[in-house]
Amino acid sequence: MKIEPELYKAKAKKAVNNSVLQNALAGLQERLGRGTALSYQRLPEGPDLRLKAHDIRSHAIEHLDILLGALADNVRQNGGHVFFAEDGQAAVNHCLEITEKHNIKKIVKGKSMVTEEIGLNIALERAGLEVTETDLGEYIVQLAGETPSHIIAPAIHRTRHQIGELFADKLGISYTDNPPILTQAARKALRKKFLSADMGISGCNLACAETGHIAVVSNEGNIRMSSTLPRVHVAFMGMERITACLEDYDILFRLLSRGAAAQNIAGYVSYLGGPKTDDQIDGPEAFYLIIIDNGRSRILADNDFREILCCIRCAACLNVCPVYGKIGGHAYGSPYSGPIGAVVTPLLFGINQAKDLYCGETLCGACKDACPINIDIPGMLITLRKKRAEGDRKWNVKRTNIMERMIFKIWALAVKNKKIYDFFLRMTGFLQTFFTGHDGTIHRLPFPFSGWTKSRNMRPISSKRFISGSKNIR
Amino acid sequence: MSGGAGRSGFICDTDPEFRLINSFSMGDEVGRMKTNTKKVSIFAQCLVDAVYPEVGKAVENIFKQLNIPVDCPGEQTCCGQPAFNSGYFPEAEIAARHFIEVFENSEQIVCPSGSCVYMVRHHYPVLFKDREGWLDRARNVGQKTYELTEYLVDVLGVEDLGAQYNGKVTIHDSCHAMRGLGIYNQPRKLINRVQGAQLVEMKDSDRCCGFGGTFSVQYPEISTAMVDDKVQNILESGADTVVGVDMSCLMNIQGRLSRLKSDVKVMHVAQILEKNLPSGPISALE
């Protein structure tokens, strides 16, 4: 998909006025946001299990080089192929080579955000291949020519009425907005695709270094079919999506399922170990694992941001974020939206380019509480702002906002000297008389504060300040 | 930049629905004082000092009622939160040093704003993490800085201040106070003891009001959409008064209510706890 976080403000403005979207987002957050919090409470170990999960993930990230080496060895031992892709283009090119080598015509895909990140579908289609998304939400989005607006619920921005019209148009069924009938129609269309596909593409929730297999989680069973029915299976994984041993899955998948959909465990958890052996009836003839860096090494090398690699992409943070709840996923201009997107998108695609993503959040902290791994997303939003305020060579960040910088420089002079501080307040108190209405409140502030009074009144600075008027002043 | 590990998530016993609260600093442990003779220095919050002086006076009156000696350091300015949250760390550090110099000799420091306390207690150690001397001084100040309702309920063990207020009151839980400091029960306990006040819970009381500092000015459309949800929940609760523990959020809510010409009153918790209510509700007027 096209990465365009610079359109955040404009798209957000549109989104808040879209009542259909507002209803959909409110419903999503009401259901999943609260449900996830309750599901953490239901854990036999209690919500503190999140801290344990954080330890497991941190340990894996700290030993990423060793784990990835072991994973590659073990996948190859199981008869699979491994390719380390430095960037998105290398991953796409390698996949195209595989399609040529195996004479592929038709592809079915299980849900994978990393393939959205690298723009895989467009490249495959350009090469003349038929690509079908098989996750129901992704299928809807693909038929509509859109991009996913949520990491787990890609078509959350569409109503069943709109989906009914879309299916009537694209699948040739008569119009209905009845979800079971619509799902049945998609199922029928997708079965044909599964049976005729030469290649299945999947993502990877977490690979296991110890055994050399990947594990994928879904609620529709589509990933299992995509990865076992076609004769070739290609799995894409971000290089951080790995765990050391099988035991780690227990805690991580229980928390992933709770974070994603408030479930104790997802409907399908598949452990895929490579191509079928001679004594097996099912499974692909060939298995390829493409491990993608695409900017992750740079994140790994930075102590301030390394923790974000612990993310397991459950989207729990989207389901509680009050900003996501108002603007939806498309505003972020990236496959990764919501709080996790506000951190990952700038780190992967440019801190300057995506500045509205981390500046346009309120730091309310709901994301950290919802995160099954307890990742400090608010802290990283502040660190991204710091990079922008100070500039950073390593991240190619240019300091841009001269006026903001000036304001804080002057502010810093004032806060350390009470006389200057009081002088500024007196001056502001004088200037505000030009903006104060007959009723004694401010209805219109000048730039750069005008945003406030677009929708809110402001009380003026008092002529009788508290501290100087206090009898207890020291 | 983590607020530190520790407890993760707790259930507040006042909520029939099992309101779930985790907290990004995991809720601070605050010890009860055996004797409450310590002098309190009022850390007013710049917004209270300049725009809402009646809230500062209410805090003074509460301590007067309790016979607790207070002082109000005249040199205090701003804790540095606006600069820190915008990423201007050297500027925030200047404010933090000034704050520490002004307050470090105080016995106890009490502030009617949760986010400012969160700044001092949790962000100062981040700012000074590589400066040994200052780090100790910052921790020393952070340890004795309390949010008002937390100080009254958890430290002093006071819930009944003998106050009276006739009205239906609903509480907005400010993000940094609630998730950062674990403040949820304290204002509820205090309001439950106010004669004549009926506490009604609004939907999503713990959801951000959309203030977010510079966010409210730079992203006014998103901010307004958020505060409109908050306003709707306040109105649907049937309350005639909304209270909170942080004037920044209340300024946002009040500013929107005022623009919508609503007659719902906005007050800081301190104002409801004052005996005889001398200061009245916050209005858009001075």
What's the CATH code of the domain at A143? 3.40.50.10420
Q: Which residues of B touch A457 (CB under 8 A)?
A: 255, 258-259, 284
Q: Can you give the residue range of the structural domain that contains A237?
A: 5-163+197-297
Cβ distance B84 to A382 less than 8 Å, yes or no, reads: yes
Average pLDDT over residues B16-45: 65
Q: Which residues of B touch A365 (CB under 8 A)?
A: 23-24, 175-176, 179-180
DSSP H helix total and E strand total for chain A: 23, 10
Residue A371 maps to a domain: no
How far away is chain B from the Cα of A20, in angstroms, using its nearest Cα?
14
Q: Are residues A91 and A221 in the same domain?
A: yes
Residue A308 maps to a domain: no
pLDDT above 90 for B105: yes
- Domain C-terminal end among A262, A297, A332: A297
Q: Which of residues 225-244 of B touch A (CB under 8 A)?
A: 225-227, 229
Q: Which of residues 49-108 of B touch A (CB under 8 A)?
A: 49-53, 55-57, 60, 70-78, 80, 82-91, 94-95, 97-98
Q: How many beta-carbon pairs under 8 angstroms link A with B?
A: 265
Q: Are residues A10 and A132 in the same domain?
A: yes
Looking at this predicted complex, what is its ipTM? 0.95
Residue B28: band (very low, low, confident or very high) from pLDDT cuts 50, 70, 90: confident
Average pLDDT over residues A434-461: 92
Total count of domains within chain A: 2
Residue B276: band (very low, low, confident or very high) from pLDDT cuts 50, 70, 90: low
Whether the ω angle into residue B90 lies within 30 degrees of 0, i.e. cis, is no
Q: Are residues A414 and A291 in the same domain?
A: no
The tokens of A62 are what?
Answer: 């700290």
Average pLDDT over residues A456-467: 94
Q: Which of residues 338-367 of A touch B (CB under 8 A)?
A: 356, 359-366
> In the prediction, which pLDDT does A474 show?
87
Residue A94 maps to a domain: yes
Task: Give the span between the Cα atoms of B85 and A423, in whole angstroms.
Answer: 25
Mutate one of B88, B174, B184, B254 to test the A interface: name it (highest A CB count within 10 A). Answer: B88
- Domain C-terminal end among A261, A280, A297: A297
Are B266 and B282 spatial neighbours (Cβ–Cβ below 8 Å)? yes
Between the two ends of chain A, the Cα-to-Cα distance in Å is: 61
Contacting residues for B252 by C-beta, under 8 A, at least 6 apart: A456, B209, B210, B211, B216, B223, B227
Domain ranges of chain B: 10-154, 160-273
> In the prediction, which pLDDT does B33 show?
60
- Domain C-terminal end among A297, A321, A353: A297
* Coil vs helix vs strand at A85: strand
Residue A225 maps to a domain: yes
Q: Among B5, B86, B286, whose Cβ lies nearest the Cβ of A408?
A: B86
Rounded alpha-carbon distances, angstroms, from residue A296 to A80, A241, A438, B106, B175: 24, 11, 57, 47, 31
Domain B160-273 has CATH 3.40.630: no
Cβ distance B24 to A378 less than 8 Å, yes or no, reads: yes
Are B27 and B180 spatial neighbours (Cβ–Cβ below 8 Å)? no
Q: Is the CB of residue A437 less than 8 Å away from at least one CB of chain B?
A: no
Share of residues in chain A with pLDDT > 70 (%): 100
- Give whichever of A115-124, A398-407, A442-451 has the largest mean pLDDT: A115-124
> In the prediction, which pLDDT does B239 show?
98
> In the prediction, which pLDDT does B36 show?
60
Q: Is the CB of residue A31 less than 8 Å away from at least one CB of chain B?
A: no
pLDDT above 50 for B128: yes
How far away is chain B from the Cα of A302, in angstroms, using its nearest Cα?
13
Q: Is the CB of residue B220 less than 8 Å away from at least one CB of chain A?
A: yes
Cβ distance B20 to A9 less than 8 Å, yes or no, reads: no
Cβ distance B256 to A456 less than 8 Å, yes or no, reads: yes
Residue A38 maps to a domain: yes
> In the prediction, which pLDDT does B23 show?
46
Residue A374 maps to a domain: no
Residue A224 maps to a domain: yes
Among candidates A138, A147, A140, A154, which has minimal Cα distance to A24?
A154
Q: Taking every pair of C-alpha atoms in chain A, what is the biggest distance, in angstroms? A: 90
DSSP H helix total and E strand total for chain B: 15, 10
Q: Are residues A284 and A423 in the same domain?
A: no
